[in-house]
Amino acid sequence: MHTILEIALISIITFSTIANFFGIPGNILIAASSFVYALSTGFHPFSLTFVLTIFGVMILFEALEFVLISISARHYGSSKWGVAGAIVGGILGAISGAFFTPVMGAIIGSLIGVFIGAFLVEIIRTPNIKHGLMAGFGAFVGRLGGLSIKVVGAVTMVSMIVFQLR
């Protein structure tokens, strides 16, 4: 039975790592699947402390993603509203991009979405195209950094899980 559960866990965490690129909250899925696995096996080989550590790593890297987008957008002149527009735009872009091309569409859609979200909000706030373009560019750069950090978090959690399974 443990073998089947391990295969299911490895499949889910592999999918979840890749899912980060598509705007799906892969790190949350990795943490949740480690918890379900721990429950299913009576917390062997995953202790409650280990599962809580996985959740802590997940929260840290999820927060870092949003902080990077925010810092980058703010560095390039975006307001708090522009940062919020970038985050909403990124989510909507990932969803709509996935309909066009499931593999790359979500990635491209989220990158374009953060730019457009920050740009539109800043243009509405202050009708200055240069300011809007700079805010959008900052959000775009932040999204690239955030996606990188998110994938590093996923690889960190997967490595911890695989090491614990051995």
Q: What is the pLDDT of residues 106-151, one digit of tens each?
A: 788 888 998 999 999 999 998 889 998 999 999 899 888 988 898 9
Listing DSSP states for 47-109 in one string gives -HHHHHHHHHHHHHHHHHHHHHHHHHHHHTT--HHHHHHHHHHHHHHHHHHHHH-TTTHHHHH
Q: For residue 160, give its domain range.
A: 2-165
> Could you tell me how far CA 69 lies from the centroid of its own chain?
11
Q: What is the pLDDT of residues 14-68, one digit of tens each?
A: 999 988 877 678 899 999 999 999 999 988 889 999 999 999 999 999 899 888 8
pTM of the predicted model as reported, rounded to 2 decimal places: 0.79
How many domains are there within the chain? 1
